[in-house]
Structure 1
Amino acid sequence: MSVLRRSWGLSLAWLAVALAALLVSACDGDDATPETPVPTESTMGSSTPGPAATFTPTPEPVTVMIEAGETIQEVVDQHPPGTRFVLTAGVYREQAIEPRDGDIYEGEPGAILSGARVLEGFQEQSGVWVVGDQTQQGFGTGRCAEAGSDICQHPEQLFIDGEALTQVGSTDDLGPDMWFFDYDNDTIVLSEDPGDRLVETSVTGFAFTGEARGVVITGLTIHQYANRAQAAAIDASDGYAWTIQDNDVSWNHGYGIRTGDSAVIRGNHVHDNGQIGIGGQGDDVLVEGNEISYNNRAGFASGWEAGATKFSRTHNLVVRGNHVHHNYGAGLWTDIDNIDSLIEENVVEHNLNRGITHEISYTATIRNNTVGFNGQGYDVWFWGAQILVQNSQDVEVVGNQVIVGEAGGDGIAVVNQRRGDGVRGPWVSRDVRVLNNTIRYIGAVGQSGMGDDTDQSPACAGESGNVFDGNTYHVPDDATEYWAWCGPVAWVGFQERGQELTGTLEIVASDAATEPEAPAGDLPPNG
């Protein structure tokens, strides 16, 4: 039977404790040199694991030291596969590396791979400052958030003393902290004299890519690469069993990291990239213990493919224990034919769009995550959900802690639309079980439940197997329509539709002051 209780205060301790625990875990050993990971076996804990990801590295690999100023690929080519390359402290500019099987790339503290070159020789011309001979122009793709603009498609960026400037479309648009790339005349234009400041522009298309097996990349800062949208600074999509661990991956134009079969992406700080932090495809992929924040700096349309993550066509994907926050788009997003996904124990907060989304895919478990204050950038229908199952079947959403902010967003939602067929049959919302979660609404906005805009709304019928039950809701009152089942309803109406027969409703005084900080906000200008 359902339970209705009234109380007058609910601590947000669950959010603070979850975040603190995750941050402590992420920070352990920051002052120590991490042990170099060697890929031997991936045991990812999926409820339906596939074959283990195995690779046998060269025993006791030879160590080769590399110093800034050397061309890394030239050094690599002089040594056999399976060599351990240690990069000493310094800035390694315009390096593009294709590893061989079993190679290890390890950075000492202060080792930085930069895809940018230094710009010098600016001259004043008609009140602006210009440098010529800039022939780099990367291939552009993608849809920009700003209607009619294509600036987000250009992979070139510009930095002064390490700070990114905003790219504009003409000299007339220039102002402080802005720059213009006159592609027709091969010039870069600033509104102010940079003087003796360090000016850098990104020119190199990738840091690591290739078909090698068992590659390890660890301890490096990898930034300012001019990789186009949907390509990555670290691109493991054609490789096998890459381990990418304990790196800072930032201010690259497209993806920070792209996955491939049996990739392990662990303990990285992936932030301020132009399109997406981490994403890709592959079987038996593990994404664990990363901080993923402030991505989509270039201003792509988040519904196209932008934000923290996006995974497609994976099998046995595990996304565990990550802190995903303040991205200008979606948080954790599995979209298109993902099978047997496990998304657990993540903290997903303050992202502009949805928190966790499983879309046009198949079997998944979304459990024990802490998800809050997402979806305030586009809160229409259920598109601002903290957790959204969209045209996917055989999905269990269980044990999550969810909070909907006063400014907008939704709780846990299931959506069914006409989306066609995938590798395992129709993309429909069927056999979705939302069980034993805790959902709190701070204000009078947001809903949890089911939406179906197809003929006769089959996803809301009993034979669909879609069910909400055993969940606990904390709401300011029991009359507001915080629920929907092919139409908005209050608590009693939700139960009349066969939902939450063992659910719990608690009336909790609204306390918007408990919201810890502002959401991600509007999309940034292209930076």
Structure 2
Amino acid sequence: MPVIANENKATTAAKSETAEQAASRVLPSHRPGRTTATPGKPQPKATHPTAAPSKKPGTSTTPTKKPTSTPTKPVEPTLPTTPSVDSDEAGPAVAGPCVGTVIEPGQNAQSIVNSKPAGTTFCFAAGLHRISQTIRPKADQVLASAKRAVLTGSVPLTGWAKSGSAWVVRGALPAAYGKSGECEDNQANICYLREQLFLDDVHLTRVASVSAVKAGTFYADYAANAIYLGSNPVGHAVEMSKTATAIESGATGVVVRGLTIEHFASAPQAGALVSGPGWNVTANDVRWNHAVGVMLVKANSTKVDKNLIHNNGQLGLGQYSSAAAAVTRNIISSNNTDGFWIADWESGGIKSTRSSGTVSGNVIKSNKGIGMWADVADDGRVISGNQITGNAADGIRFEISRNGTISGNTVTGNGFGTGRGSGTSLWDGGGININTSSGVVIKGNKVSGNVNGVTIQSRTRGSGPWGTYLLRDVQVTGNTIEMTGGTQATGMVQNAGAAVPAGEIVFSGNKYILDDLGTQRFSRFGAKLTVAGWQSAGLDAIGTFLAR
């Protein structure tokens, strides 16, 4: 299902950074030696969306925002971090042994998997496995590697010819297909294109015309079936993402462990790895796929643990219509490399819709979008003990959902990278953003150095499975909230038609660190307040307020 869009879109588009600027390669990208298998046809159809309709139900009367400049990011916060997974405690390095049917590079993995009964363990040997056909495991089968096998959806591109200042190859692209998704640069609108190029394993930046091609970039002309490259390919390996999905099945109890999954041409909102119910997705490295790295679809009780999920084109992990899933001890970083809309279109770290479960003990950092987003009828969501740092949009957003617990997280340095359609007011979110949701507890978090601290929004958002979406019963207690430097405020906003009854929002027992106790770092339904005004409004009467 498509995305929930921002109610207050600015009319001008901010030009997106290149994908290379967006995605610092903070995790290792080395691959074992190559063994070539026969490439197959791409799978262009996106079958597993992650979010909800592109138009929000109901009509908002929130005034349109004027674009505002992003403030200077404050100095690094001094608050301690939440203990969670370290980089040497996740990924294929911690996968453990594999004993079973061996799949060698060059063999047809799906044919071998299909020939064996449910419950079989398959061990991918070391090397590069070119996946031309999606692997569809049976119930309780294990797809694993103790040798850091790489499953790739890309094919080599050869036969380049000089063309002006660029190089061209013809005949490698599929037929042109329709647009989907929302791009940060909504003039060029090229983020939806799935066939991504890599030069010696380095992700190249797509441009919108032949004239824009330069070193490190490429242009794909689908009408002429030609790809133009700005870097000399002679003596280098050039590859193009082609196969849409590495692994996908509705079978129960599948284990995926110790694999590197990269270069799959997944459509927007679709995953390179698509889990069914009761799966265990552990100690994998899922990277450089066009859209979503790991996608849970009707995947009740699935566990996603100790994975590296990074540098995917749109989103690290998506969860759709999946109850009681556990996302734990993963490092989810630097996603949205391909220019999807940062502020409000499911780009970034994690997006969950119509689901429940836990997101705990993860590192969610440096994603070009929202860190953790529960959106559209999530019901029973626990977000706890995560380090959520340096994401371009909100650290945590809990939107038109209910029964959420957000506790014990360290949320720092988020919200300073939004562009199109976003500003710095409480309408634009911050460290923790609650939007028209009910039954939410925010407790024991350390929130510092974000564009805003804790933002509570009441909007007109129509109806969902339990009736009208309303902002009700939100408790903010026992948190440490630092608002200095570029941090704007903590507080609440409401639009016409969405007034919040007294007593439905509680701030109590929080500790605030401010640069000056006389500064207006608080806001209540449009009124900017000092500490005295905040407490006079019945908020944090027993709170602690400290000046740095």
* Alignment TM class, shorter chain as reference: 0.7 to 0.9
Matched letter for residue 98 of structure 1: R
Match for residue 504 of structure 1? Answer: 544
The alignment yields a C-alpha RMSD, in angstroms, of: 1.9
Q: Is this contact kept in 2: 1:202–1:226, CA < 8 A? A: yes
Q: 1:311 to 1:36 in 2, by over 3 A?
A: farther
Match for residue 54 of structure 2? Answer: none
Alignment of 1:515-526 (within 5 A): none
Match for residue 475 of structure 2? Answer: 433
- 2:225 is the alignment partner of 1:186: yes
Q: 1:426 to 1:250 in 2, by over 3 A?
A: same
**Alignment partner of 1:77: what SS?**
helix
Q: 1:335 to 1:443 in 2, by over 3 A?
A: same
Q: CA deviation at 1:163?
A: 0.3
Q: 1:481 to 1:361 in 2, by over 3 A?
A: same
What is the CA–CA distance in structure 2 between the aligned matches of 1:36 and 1:243, rounded to whole Å?
16
Match for residue 48 of structure 2? Answer: none
Q: Is this contact kept in 2: 1:225–1:233, CA < 8 A? A: yes
Matched letter for residue 346 of structure 1: N
Q: CA deviation at 1:204?
A: 0.4
Alignment of 1:468-507 (within 5 A): 468-487=507-526, 488-507=528-547
Match for residue 310 of structure 1? Answer: 351
Q: What is the TM-score of this pair, normalised by structure 1?
A: 0.84
TM-superposition CA deviations, 1:151-198 (whole Å, max 9, x none): 101011000000011111211111110111111121111134210101
What is the CA–CA distance in structure 2 between the aligned matches of 1:433 and 1:129, rounded to whole Å?
59
Matched letter for residue 125 of structure 1: S
User: What number of residue pairs does the alignment pair up?
Assistant: 462
Q: 1:336 to 1:22 in 2, by over 3 A?
A: same
Q: Is this contact kept in 1: 2:412–2:449, CA < 8 A? A: yes
Q: Is this contact kept in 1: 2:429–2:455, CA < 8 A? A: no
Match for residue 168 of structure 2? Answer: 130
Match for residue 287 of structure 1? Answer: 327
Matched letter for residue 140 of structure 2: G
What is the CA–CA distance in structure 1 between the aligned matches of 2:530 and 2:93, rounded to whole Å?
54
Q: Is this contact kept in 2: 1:101–1:212, CA < 8 A? A: yes
Q: 1:109 to 1:226 in 2, by over 3 A?
A: same
Matched letter for residue 424 of structure 2: V
What is the CA–CA distance in structure 1 between the aligned matches of 2:360 and 2:536, rounded to whole Å?
36
- 2:158 is the alignment partner of 1:97: no
Alignment of 1:405-416 (within 5 A): 405=450, 409-416=451-458
- 2:288 is the alignment partner of 1:227: no
Matched letter for residue 358 of structure 1: F
Matched letter for residue 88 of structure 1: A
**Alignment partner of 2:248: what SS?**
coil
What is the CA–CA distance in structure 2 between the aligned matches of 1:417 and 1:337, rounded to whole Å?
15
- 2:434 is the alignment partner of 1:394: no
Match for residue 462 of structure 2? Answer: 420
Q: 1:366 to 1:67 in 2, by over 3 A?
A: same
Q: CA deviation at 1:149?
A: 1.9
Match for residue 82 of structure 1? Answer: 119
Matched letter for residue 442 of structure 1: T
Matched letter for residue 348 of structure 1: I
Q: What is the TM-score of this pair, normalised by structure 2?
A: 0.81
Match for residue 95 of structure 2? Answer: 34
Match for residue 278 of structure 2? Answer: 241
- 2:158 is the alignment partner of 1:117: no
Structure 1 unaligned segments of length 5 or more: list them. 1-9, 38-61, 509-527
Matched letter for residue 299 of structure 1: G
Matched letter for residue 418 of structure 1: T
Q: 1:362 to 1:36 in 2, by over 3 A?
A: farther
Identical-pair percentage: 32
Matched letter for residue 483 of structure 2: Y
Q: CA deviation at 1:11?
A: 10
Q: CA deviation at 1:136?
A: 2.3
Among candidates 101, 107, 112, match of residue 70 of structure 1: 107
Q: Is this contact kept in 1: 2:91–2:307, CA < 8 A? A: no
Q: CA deviation at 1:444?
A: 5.5
TM-superposition CA deviations, 1:7-47 (whole Å, max 9, x none): xxx995643x53xx4244x524879653479xxxxxxxxxx
Q: 1:112 to 1:29 in 2, by over 3 A?
A: closer
